[in-house]
Amino acid sequence: MIPAPFDYVAPTTLEEALTALSEHGDVAKIIAGGQSLLPVLRMRLNAPEWVIDLGRIETLRGVRDDGDALVIGAMTPHSVVAADPLVAEHAALLARATATVADEQVRHRGTFGGALAHADPAGDLGAPARALGAQLVIAGPGGTRTVEADDFFRGLFETAITEDEILTEVRIPKHPGWGAHYEKFVRVAHQWPIVAVGASVKVEGGTIAGAAVGLTNMGSTPLRARAVEAALVGQAATEEACRAAAEKAVEGAEPPSDLNGDADYRRHLVTVLTRRALLAAIADAGA
C-alpha cells in the first residue's frame, strides 16, 4: 500500500529538528532509517501529517570514546555499530547482536537509535543495551536528560521518549575483556528472534567475576536476567554453573504466545539458549 500523504522536512541540526517537532507536535513523526516506520506508514497503521527526517544531522552519527563509556549516536547505522572496533573491544555483546539484525540492506539503513526508540520486544538491540547498563540521552525543548536503560523501555513499542523529544545518543559503560555471545533462535534466516539471549561475562582465574544477561522477546519489553547474573557471579566458569544459572532465566519473564510458539515453549527455549549463550561467552572470554 502507499502511505497517506504527508509533508516532509529534513533539518540539518538537532535544534531545527526539535523546533519542527514542537511546531507540528502530535501530527509529526520522526524518521531515522525508515526500516520500521515505512512499513507502518505503508500499512496505514499510522498517518502523520509531517515526517521529520533525521538523516541529514551529522552530529547524531558515529561512535566515540568517552572515558569509561562508549557513545553511539542515535543515527549510527547497524552496519557501522557491528563493524566498529571500539564497540568490538568494549561492548562486544552489542556488536554480536547487531550483526544478527535482518540482512545487509536493512543493516545499512536501520539505525541504533531507531531500533531502541521503536522498542519492538522482538528487536535484537534492547536486551543487550539493557544488560550492558546503557544510558539513553534524550533531547527536548527543555534541554537534555539521561535515562537508564532499565527505565527507558515502558511497554510494548513504548519508551520514555515523549512526543516532543529526540533520542540523540546512547552511552554504554565499557566492558573490556568481557566475553560475549548473542544466541538468537529464528525459524527462517534474517528474521526477528522467537527468543534470543545476550550474555557477556568477565572471567578471572576460572571464576565468573561479572555477568550481564539480556533476554529478547520474553516479555513486552527487553529484559535483564538479573537472577541469572546473580547465580553466576562467584561461581567457577563451568557447564554445571551455566546450566544451573540458566534455569533462572524464566524468573520475571512473561513471554508472548504467537504463531511461532506459545509461552511455555519460550520458557523452555530461553533456558536452553541462556546456557548456550553463557558457555559461548565464557569461551569467548578465553576461559
Residues that bind ligand FAD (CB under 6 A): 29-37, 54, 74, 101-102, 106, 110-111, 113-115, 117-118, 123-125, 161, 166-167, 191-192
Tell me how far, at minimum, the Cβ of 204 lies from ligand FAD, in Å.
Answer: 32
The half-sphere exposure of 101 on its side-chain side, counting CA atoms within 13 A, is: 33
Compute the C-alpha angle 41/44/47, nearest 5°: 70
CB of 11 or CB of 282, closer to ligand FAD: 11
Tell me how far, at minimum, the Cβ of 256 lies from ligand FAD, in Å.
Answer: 16
CB of 14 or CB of 283, closer to ligand FAD: 14
- Using CB atoms within 10 Å of the CB of residue 43, give its burial: 0 to 12 exposed, 13 to 18 middle, 19+ buried: exposed
**CA–CA dist 232, 236 (Å, integer):** 8
The total of other beta-carbon atoms located within 10 Å of residue 252's CB is: 14
Contact between 146 and 135 under an 8 Å Cβ cutoff? The reply is yes
CB of 74 or CB of 237, closer to ligand FAD: 74
The total of other beta-carbon atoms located within 10 Å of residue 27's CB is: 12
Residue 112 DSSP code? H
CB of 165 or CB of 241, closer to ligand FAD: 165
Tell me how far, at minimum, the Cβ of 274 lies from ligand FAD, in Å.
Answer: 19
What are the angstrom distances between the C-alpha of 187 and each of 88, 124, 216? 27, 15, 15
Tell me how far, at minimum, the Cβ of 41 lies from ligand FAD, in Å.
Answer: 9
Tell me how far, at minimum, the Cβ of 124 lies from ligand FAD, in Å.
Answer: 4
Q: Which residue is nearest to ligand FAD (CB)?
A: 110
CB of 41 or CB of 231, closer to ligand FAD: 41
CB of 11 or CB of 114, closer to ligand FAD: 114
Tell me how far, at minimum, the Cβ of 78 lies from ligand FAD, in Å.
Answer: 6
**SS percent in the chain: helix, strand, coil, step 5:** 35, 30, 35
